[in-house]
Amino acid sequence: MKNLKNIFFSLLVLMSTTMMAQQTPAGKQKGSILITGATAHLGNGQTIENSAIGFDNGKLTYVGTLAQADRNSFSRVIDASGKHVYPGFIAGNTTLGLVEVDAIRATDDDAEIGGIIPHVRSLIAYNAESKVVESMRPNGVLMAQITPQGGRISGTSSVVQFDAWNWEDAAVKADDGIHMNWPNSFTRGRWWLGEDPRLVPSKNYSEQVEEVVSFIREARAYLKGSQSPRNLPYEAVKGLFDGTQRLYVHVNGEKEIVDAVNFTKENGIQKLVIIGGDEAHKVADLLANNNVSVMISRPHRLPNKEDDNVKHPFNLAKLLMDKGVVVGIEMNGRMNRQESRNLPFFAGSFAAYGIGKEDAVKMISGNAAKILGIDDIAGTLEKGKDATLFISEGDALDMRTNIVSHAFIQGREVSLETHQTKLWKRYSQKFGDK
Amino acid sequence: MKKILLVLAMFWCSISVFAQEYFPKNDGVKTTNNNFTAFTNARLFVTPTQVIDNGTLLIQNGKVVASGASVKIPENSVVIDLGGKYIYPSFIDIYSTFGVEKPKRRPGGGRSAQYNPSREGFYWNDHIMPENKAMSKFKFSNQKAKDLVKSGFGVVNTHIEDGIIRGTSVLVALNADGDNSERILDQDAAQHLSFSKSVTSNQSYPTSIMGAMALLRQLYHDAKWYKDGNSSTKDLSIEALLANQSLPQIFDAGDKMQAFRAAKIANEFGLNYIIKGGGNEFERIDDIKNTNASYIVPLDFPIAYDVTDPYNASKVSLADMRLWNQAPTNPGLMAKNGIRFALTTAGLKKASDFKTNLMKALEYGLDKTKALEALTTTPASLLGKSDQLGSLKNGSYANFLITSGDIFDKNTTLYENWVQGHKNIVNDMNIKDIRGEYDLTIAGKKYLLKIKGKFSAPSSELTLNSAKIGSKMTYKNGWVNIFYNPTSEKTEFVRLTAAVTASDNLSGKGTLTNGNAISWTAVKQAGKEDANGKKDNGNAKTYETVPVTFPNKAYGVKELPKQQTILFKNATVWTNEAEGILKNADVLVKDGKIVKVGSNLSQSGATVIDATGKHLTSGIIDEHSHIAAASVNEAGHNSSAEVTMEDVVNPEDINLYRNLSGGVTSMQILHGSANPIGGRSALIKLKWGENADEMIIDNSPGFIKFALGENVKQSNWQSFNRFPQSRMGVEQVFVDYFQRAKEYDEKWKNYNKLSAKARARTKAPRYDIEMHTIAEILNKERFISCHSYVQSEINMLMKVVEKFNFNVNTFTHILEGYKVADKMAAHGVGGSTFSDWWSYKNEVNDAIPYNAAIMHNAGVVVAINSDDREMSRRLNQEAAKSVKYGGVSEEDAWKFITLNPAKLLHLDDRMGSIKAGKDADLVLWSDHPLSIYAIAEKTMIDGAVYYDYKQMQQIQEDIRNEKNKLINMMIKEKNKGVKTQQPKKKVDKELHCNSL
């Protein structure tokens, strides 16, 4: 333990020299870098012991064993012996940068009014300078999907990276998909009118589904025609039909999931992702057969029903992976934003309950990239992809050993300082801790 | 015309004998009827246990004059020979709202809550209304009376079902012929109470059950004080309460847990509440028995869920399914356990459900005599009216039923229900029951004639060689008419008619299809009286009910776990003592305590658990939780020191079990943060299956919640008229209450110092639960755990209490503790914080995950708490974050959730470390307990294993099988044509600091 403490102090000293008000985005990668000696977790389920990871101009140029690497062709070598290298972790379905402080309404930009508003885009409201966003990086979370909330079709999300001057810089994939909150087949009794407060089968379910079906059909018809006069909502879902955008359906119940899968199949929607999926394991075969991937809820939640397996939220990843479903993790839930920095530990929790540790890493790297459609440039440590990665002192999925010493986004070495580390240092110094 | 006759017959009445004799008479001559009516040859139930065959009941002027085997019948008697029919005392509904309209909700208040009362001259709280009288709102309802009379009721005790103290009820006979002068038996029959506020006032207090309990207690204290002449002002509510003191006290609990709470108050004040239950008393029948209270039990059993859609069915909880299956056993189990109870129709949607559900209760094991007692003698005696009601003894009201047989037999017909000597005909007893199977021979053909259905209007079913023949019958005024179509080719009818006589057979005349007249006889087949084909004699059917568990829901236990002698071998033991972390160590547990820690231990008879490769730690203690609580905040006042979470511990919260699965063994259930001075805490062990009292830690030190900042100044919701609205005001609230409590305490100390003689001369100070509690804090007998965020307010509270010469025990949340860690250490206060929560409101902007580390390094006793039912089941991970953020050593980080919270809760002499002599609250982990990969495999409390990971998975299977079984039973019920309800999914409300 002494060791860890020492690491902390040295980090502290290192960082206090670069203290600034808001973390300034790093400049473009200058000179090639090789990280040597670490255990590399590639994000595709594989590891390389005693590895070398090289990158230049923001792209990975070498991923392999140290033995076969050419050290001399790199301008900077970082010795990471005994440490671990991971691809930057990717958080799905967050509201990072859309809200700063929950209780202050003025800082809240995560939802718009109107039921079906696919044209509303999260990207332009994303605050690249949020203090919450910068607190992700010291834990290895370097990218996220920024998702609008509420309504039936909430709007269009984008994928961003966490070291940017503004939203335009931040965008990794603008407008990656459309988000839909699938109707619920159960609805709460009107307790204020003296009705049973329990949930009862919804009388409006088919009507609500029909509303969505009808919108999609109309949009499809519109897109085949002259498109005049222009209709913003219809145009916003164009990508669903040509496969350039995903449809993210936020849904938990078994019946609703089946309905959502059938809905997309019948309406020419190319790529469906289930967000949540509490009961997805009950229809895992259907999902696997239709190439529907699932971003499951964070395991740090309670079972949905009193009778459920006490460990169901932890078991879900294994139940789905065993059936061949591509699984990621989404952030919906209380303190969606602040909790996103715990993404590695969510993955670790799934590893505690049945899946392999590398599969757990994959959920928040390779799989996440695949699900979000950015796997051509991110998600795994593979030659040619973005050099978005970090070095951890130990197992990054375990909070005891998730100690990040270096993080790179597109080859730029990013600051690991935050509002919080600054306060930590200020008061540690005040009390003469060190 | 016939219809009119029938209606007249229904409400035929003897001349009103009770006409007030001093009233003037202008519409005719004055008549008096002093005749007797004698009912002879009856099976007479004088009481449920005193039954006389061939008995006589003699009544006069609405009262029973005599009842027995040899009653002398006076000359001026009308004699009614009942020929073996049965007479019972009619039923009493002790819990009714008959004829009393429920008050309407007062339209909502303004944008801020109402803190002051709306009334003058009454108690300070609008929801206390002992002065209310149901009589003042009572209006006799003929239609409702008729329904009740049909169900066998003669008297109801009706009240205004509104408020905490609801005033007096009126006892009324369901005498539609008389008027109020006759039917009102007692206009102040009982006083009614509940925990629910009145809809007629928007006064905020109490917002919680615990507040309602505290209010009742304070009221009883105040009433005594008032009675002793100590008050210089008038209080009409208290005067009414004192006047109602001697009446029966009927408490509407409506649920078993609420019943325990009501009984608790009754016991504290030496009262006898008659508790109206919720029908789920069977789930903790032993505890119900131990309340020693009498009960009023409803019969509103849940109906089956429509589970034919498997998906919808999957949403119905095991608990709800079980309740459907088991609830009809409730009355029977109450009886078997010797609990005194009355039955009520309350909660039934329609009057006819009463008989259906009563029959069900009998089928599910309720004894007939007990059932009759619960409807007659028991309610009469609970109301103190045994001499007038509930039996047919001399002097009782002539309230009785005449039936064809055993009243609790399905096939029995209720003929007449007499109320105060007035006859109400339910079914004409002069109609002969001709139902049965007959051999009918017409024109050489032998038919089978079944007469079935309602005995007063039966229907026919005619078969020839098992082939059904279309037929119709009528039975009116003693004549039977049957017609049928013997050949299906032509529409021609055979018509038969017969007058019903004393003979069992039917015989009369008829006309064949060709117009020829005939004579016919239908010979009744012996032993086939009930043509419904079901010859069920009474209620011998047995129904399968699934076993009750504790609590009666998923993961409940059939038997409580027992203390065992257990030897953990070869574990990595986190002692939290000077020994540190021991490798390959053994721990012996016996009689609920840790007996030995060492290596190579052995103990004969001990269950040995091989813990090789595993970690053994003391149980996790959560300093700040809101699970297992029926309510969290009493937000009606800015101080609620008078309430205690111990009143509202809910031992049935599934989150207790879920927390065991994360290795939590003890916790402080805190009041919320709605007000600067909150309520007292409950310190519990998570003994899943036990009742609330057993969970509360014996001799637990007293704690109270305080709060600062945005919640108490109500920054984040609409409220603008409660002091304080700023941090400046918060300080003044504390100074004010501490000063008042100090003066209060001195007053009592001076009073108690007086000699007995001097005390008799001196007015006693008023006993104030709130002030008494705050005085305990000043006297260092109770400790503060204070919700806090920013440094200014943290500093402020320390300075305020220092002026009153005591210390804050714990700052909880304390997210800016790191900014004043030196001051905290100097003050000697502990810090119980979140690991990494921030940015959810303005006051947590500067919350940092390094907080625990900085405070710890400054010498503050630090704990990591949850304030969250989900997080608490992985507090080990939260502690581990202190290793990441700030480099706390693993041993110290582990103490953040075990030994340190034990210290903060003054329980470290009993728990928090693995040391001989301490409570055996232990957790066996699959891995390093701070690791993300660790799974709690066993959680032990006081030497008994309350959670086992493997067992939990087995229970999962059991739940599935049991649900499957119940679903099949419900589908069977639906197929029988029984009404079902749509599936419903339970939602449990998540409670936090700021939950209201």
B311 to A342: CB separation less than 8 angstroms, yes or no: no
CA distance A251 to chain B (A): 15
- Alpha carbon distance B603, B590 (integer Å): 10
Residues A32 and A150 in one domain: no
Mutate to test the interface with B, among A358, A398, A403, A425 (most CBs of B within 10 A): A398
Q: How confident is the model at residue B733 (pLDDT cuts 50, 70, 90)?
A: very high
**How many structural domains compose chain A?**
2
**A10-24, B239-253, B344-358, B875-889: lowest mean pLDDT where?**
A10-24
For residue B312, which residues of chain A lie inside 8 Å, CB to CB?
Answer: 185, 201
Are A77 and A95 contained in the same domain? no
pLDDT in tens, B938-953: 999 999 999 999 999 9
CB–CB of A399 and B884 under 8 A? Answer: yes
The answer to whether B627 touches B669, Cβ cutoff 8 Å, is yes
CATH number, residue A76:
2.30.40.10
Estimate to the nearest angstrom the gap between the alpha carbon of A310 and the chain centroid.
25
A229–B contact, CB cutoff 8 A: no
Task: Tell me, yes or no, whether A353 lies in a domain.
Answer: yes
Inter-chain touch A307–B554, beta carbons under 8 Å? yes
> Could you tell me if A47 and A106 lie in one domain?
no
Query: Residue A86 — φ and ψ, nearest 5°?
Result: -130, 150
Structure ipTM over 0.90, yes or no? yes
In three-state secondary structure terms, B23 is: coil
**End-to-end Cα, chain A, rounded Å:** 16
B838 has a chain A CB within 8 A of its CB: yes
Is B599 contained in some domain? no
Q: DSSP string of B897-948?
A: TTHHHHHHTT-TTTSSS--TTSB--EEEESS-TTSTT--EEEEEETTEEEEE
Q: Is A345 on the interface with B (CB under 8 A)?
A: yes
Q: What string of pLDDT tens digits covers the 434 residues of chain A?
A: 445 555 555 544 444 444 445 789 999 999 999 999 999 999 999 999 999 999 999 999 999 999 999 999 999 999 999 999 999 999 999 999 999 999 999 999 999 999 999 999 999 999 999 999 999 999 999 999 999 999 999 999 999 999 999 999 999 999 999 999 999 999 987 777 777 788 999 999 999 999 999 999 999 999 999 999 999 999 999 999 999 999 999 999 999 999 999 999 999 999 999 999 999 999 999 999 999 999 999 999 999 999 999 999 999 999 999 999 999 999 999 999 999 999 999 999 999 999 999 999 999 999 999 999 999 999 999 999 999 999 999 999 999 999 999 999 999 999 999 999 999 999 999 998 54
> Which of A205, A427, A428, A433 is the best mutation test for B, with the most CBs of B within 10 A?
A427
To the nearest whole Å, the CA of B987 is away from the closest chain A CA by 6
Specify whether A147 is located in the same domain as A51: no
In a domain, A227, yes or no: yes
- One domain, residues A109 and A76: no
Q: Based on the domain organization, do A309 and A198 belong to the same domain?
A: yes
pLDDT at B28: 86
Contact: A103, B657; criterion CB under 8 Å: no
- Considering the domain architecture, whether residues B708 and B829 belong to the same structural domain is answered as yes
Measured between CB atoms, does B319 come within 8 Å of chain A?
Answer: yes
Q: Is the pLDDT of residue B114 over 60?
A: yes
The CATH number assigned to the domain holding B746 equals: 3.20.20.140
Q: Provide the shortest C-alpha distance from residue A16 to chain B (in Å).
A: 15
Strand order in the sheet with B620-625: B620-625, B664-669, B682-685
- Does some domain include residue B236? no
Domain hosting residue B864, numbered range: 620-890
What are the b/e assignments for B656-671, b being 16+ CB within 10 Å?
A: bbbbbbbbbbbbbbbb
Residues B193, B274: Cα–Cα separation, whole Å: 10
For B:697-716, CB contacts with A below 8 A are 710, 715-716
Determine the residue among A13, A105, A305 to mutate to test chain B binding: the one whose Cβ has the most chain B Cβ atoms within 10 Å: A305
Does the distance separating the beta carbons of B886 and A8 come in below 8 Å? yes
Inter-residue contact A242 to A216 (CB < 8 Å)? no
Q: Which of B666, B701, B92 is closest to B341 using CA atoms?
A: B92
Give the end of a domain, one of B866, B890, B914.
B890
Q: Residue A427's closest chain B neighbor by CA?
A: B819
Q: Give the nearest partner residue to B848 out of A302, A420, A431, using CB atoms.
A: A420
Examine the domain organization and report whether A100 and A115 are in the same domain: yes
CA–CA gap between residue A239 and residue B587 (Å, rounded) = 64
- In a 3-state reduction of DSSP, which class is residue B296? strand
Beta bridge partners of B436: B451
Q: Do B984 and A196 touch (CB under 8 A)?
A: yes
Would you state the pLDDT for residue B751? 95
Q: In 3-state terms, what secondary structure has residue A406?
A: strand
Residue A143 inside a domain? The answer is: yes
pLDDT band, very low/low/confident/very high, at B17 (cuts 50, 70, 90): very low
Give the closest-approach CA distance of B367 to chain A in angstroms: 32
For A8, the closest chain B residue by CA position comes to B887
Decide if pLDDT at B494 tops 90: no
Reading the block at residue B984, the tokens are 């419903």
Tokens 């939203």 belong to A167
Regarding whether A121 and A209 lie in a shared domain, the answer is yes
B325 within domain boundaries: no
Q: Is residue A407 part of a domain?
A: no
Amino acid at B487: T
**d(C-alpha B963, C-alpha B554), whole Å:** 10
Establish if B554 touches chain A: CB-CB under 8 angstroms.
Answer: yes
Q: What is the mean pLDDT of chain B?
A: 93
CATH number at residue A179: 3.20.20.140
Indicate the residue of B658, B891, B982 with minimum beta-carbon distance to A201.
B982
Give CA–CA dist A212/B676, Å, rounded: 48
A333 touching B (Cβ < 8 Å): no
Q: Which domain, by its residues, includes A275?
A: 89-378
Both A99 and A232 in one domain: the answer is yes
Q: Is A305 part of a structural domain of the chain?
A: yes
For B189-225, write each residue's pLDDT tens digit: 999 999 999 999 999 999 999 999 999 999 999 999 9
Pair of tokens at residue B724: 């304080």
Give yes or no: residues A76 and A184 share one domain: no
Q: Looking at the partner chain, which of B314, B889, B952 has a beta carbon nearest the beta carbon of A1?
A: B889
CB B255 within 8 A of CB B278: yes
Residue A424 lies in a domain: no
A97 shares a domain with A81: no
Cα separation, B10 vs A263, in Å, equals 62
Residue B254 phi, psi dihedral angles, 5° rounding: 75, 10
Residue A426 within any structural domain of the chain: no
Across the interface, of B858, B931, B956, the residue whose CB is closest to A398 is B931
User: Which amino acid would we find at residue B766?
Assistant: R
Is A313 within the bounds of a domain? yes
- What is the rounded CA–CA span in Å between residue B962 and residue B321? 10
Distance CA A86, CA B152 (A): 79
- N- to C-terminal Cα separation, chain B: 62
Q: Which of B890, B921, B952 is the last residue of a domain?
A: B890
Q: In the listed set B836, B861, B890, which residue is the last one of a domain according to the structure?
A: B890
- CA–CA gap between residue B926 and residue B620 (Å, rounded): 15
- Which of B860, B985, B986 to mutate to test binding with chain A, by most A CBs within 10 Å of its CB? B985
Do A80 and A118 lie in a common domain?
Answer: no
Q: For residue B466, give the CATH number of its domain.
A: 2.40.128
What are phi and psi for residue A309, nearest 5 degrees? -55, 130
Chain A nearest-CA residue for B963:
A307
- Residue A399 has its nearest CB partner, among B553, B880, B953, at B880
The pLDDT, as a whole number, for residue A427 is 96
Residue B227, Cβ density class (10 Å: 0-12 exposed, 13-18 middle, ≥19 buried): middle
Total structural domains in chain B? 2
Which site among A10, A133, A399 would you substitute to test the B interface, given the most B Cβ atoms closer than 10 Å to its Cβ? Answer: A399
**B311 chain-A contacts, CB cut-off 8 A:** 185, 253-255
Evaluate if residue B537 carries a pLDDT over 70: no
Determine, for residues B887 and A8 on separate chains, whether the beta-carbon distance falls below 8 Å.
Answer: yes
Is B112 within 8 Å of chain A by CB? no
With CB atoms and an 8 Å threshold, state whether B887 touches A7: yes
Yes or no: say if B706 and B785 are a contact pair by the CB < 8 Å rule: yes
Give the per-residue pLDDT at B454: 79
Kindly state the DSSP code that residue B697 receives in the 8-state scheme: P
Whether residue A297 lies within 8 A of chain B, CB to CB, comes out as: no
